Amino acid sequence: MKRMFMGRAFPVLIEPLFQVWQFYTVPAAILPCPAPCQAARGSLSVCGLGDNTSTGSTMNDANTPVVPGGKHWILLGTRSIITITGGDARDFLQGLISSDAHRISPTQAIYGALLTPQGKFLHEFFLVERDGLLLLDCEIARKDDLLRRLTMYKLRADVDLVDAAETYRVFALLGDHGFGYKIGEAQELDGGVAFVDPRLAGLGARAILPETEAENVLTAAGYTEADFNAYDRHRLSLGVPDGSRDLTVDKSVLMESNFDELHGVDFEKGCYVGQEVTTRTKRRGLVKKRLLPVDVSGPLPAPGTPVLLGDRDAGVMCSGLDGRGLALLKLEKVEQSQHSSTALRSSEAELKVVIPNWLTLAGSDQNSDTGSS
């Protein structure tokens, strides 16, 4: 059975896939109300997909929804596309990246990273297939470096790497309802592809669309434009990092950055660059720091600002916006802060750690070190 969309026939699945982009219901508690109320400081309910059954966030301003009601598209101008083709494309990626490249298909997107041989972060990206092309969604500011590194590893492999920055645009899609599709589930869409975010269901969907048609496609599907800050607030409320805004190149490690919880590393696959260190960290529980969401009371500290517990180093601030942020924190100091009721501080601000319910902190050990500092 097929239905018409934009003058084209699509499988009947296209309608529920549009619906799956509508991930969370804005509770009445966080809609504008005449006066603040205690109930307004509840969690944002999200329909769980795949391995993530739910997620939540504490709102700093109870009267400001993370994203206004309705269906919205957000242009992710910080992202770009590299296309990968060739008979060796998947095997080439399989030996390099942290996730399982053999899972990439027209119906399945993945999230992963490229590491140094020492297991330190270099690049993060999404991968999905469209018409035989592997589409790699990466940071636009660091795209040239990623292309250079991939080309360096290519050697004689049957692989073609093309900068498609002028061909495609990347969008986030947010809406009002959740449906039971799995994270990473993908479908072709009018010259491009859309997929449930493979990190976390509550992040909504992503769409990679031809630059010349993208806005018309999304408008016809009933989406209206929202600005990037709306998406950024939503991301921060869920505690999800945003590439090198929150990870330090050649320093961060995946377990500290929650890639194990965000489906960004496959511990069952074979060897890849940095695999030995990453697997050892997982097996031995060598995680003493984590990227954690924080509520910020006071002026928002700039990224890189130290976080202190009393006069002791507790971590460092990362990205933030409107009273929400992420910080790389020593778990021992977080525990001490909670037990002593002593607040963590960064510059002139007080920080309250909010552990999202998708993050189990599995494999963490406050008395061990990952080797990063």
- Strands (E) located in 175-252: 186-189, 192-196, 205-210, 224-225
> What's the pLDDT score for residue 46?
23
Within-domain flag for 304: yes
Q: Are 90 and 236 members of one domain?
A: yes
For the chain of 373 residues, list the mean pLDDT of each consecutive stretch of 10: 37 37 31 26 23 32 49 96 98 98 97 98 98 98 98 96 98 67 88 94 93 93 93 95 98 96 95 94 88 97 98 98 97 94 96 92 45 41
Tell me, what's the pLDDT at 9?
A: 37
Of 295, 289, 290, 310, which Cα lies nearest the Cα of 349?
A: 295
> Are both 99 and 218 inside the same structural domain?
yes
Domain that includes residue 111, residue range: 71-243
Same domain, 100 and 161: yes
Both 238 and 296 in one domain: the answer is no
Q: What is the CATH number of the domain that holds 108?
A: 3.30.1360.120
Contact 359, 258 (CB under 8 A): yes
For 91, residues 6+ apart whose C-beta sits below 8 A from its C-beta are 101, 157
**pLDDT score recorded for residue 60:** 30
143 & 292 share domain: no
Q: Are residues 208 and 321 in the same domain?
A: no
Q: What is the distance of C-alpha 288 from the center of its chain?
A: 22
Q: Establish if 366 belongs to a structural domain.
A: no
The answer on 217 and 88 residing in a single domain is yes
* Domain end position, chosen among 209, 243, 277: 243
Instruction: Provide the number of structural domains found in the chain.
Output: 2
Residue 333 sits in a domain whose CATH number is 2.40.30
Domain end residue (candidates: 208, 223, 243): 243
Could you tell me if residue 237 is inside a domain? yes
The reply to whether 147 falls in a domain is yes
Query: Residue 52: inside a domain, yes or no?
Result: no
> Are both 232 and 292 inside the same structural domain?
no
In this predicted structure, what is the pLDDT of residue 284?
86
DSSP 3-state of 91? helix
DSSP 3-state assignment of 51? Answer: coil
Measured in degrees and rounded to the nearest 5, phi and psi for residue 15 equal -65, -50
Indicate whether 283 belongs to any domain: no
Distance (Å, whole) CA 27 – CA 42? 9
Give residue 42's pLDDT: 23
How many residues belong to the chain?
373
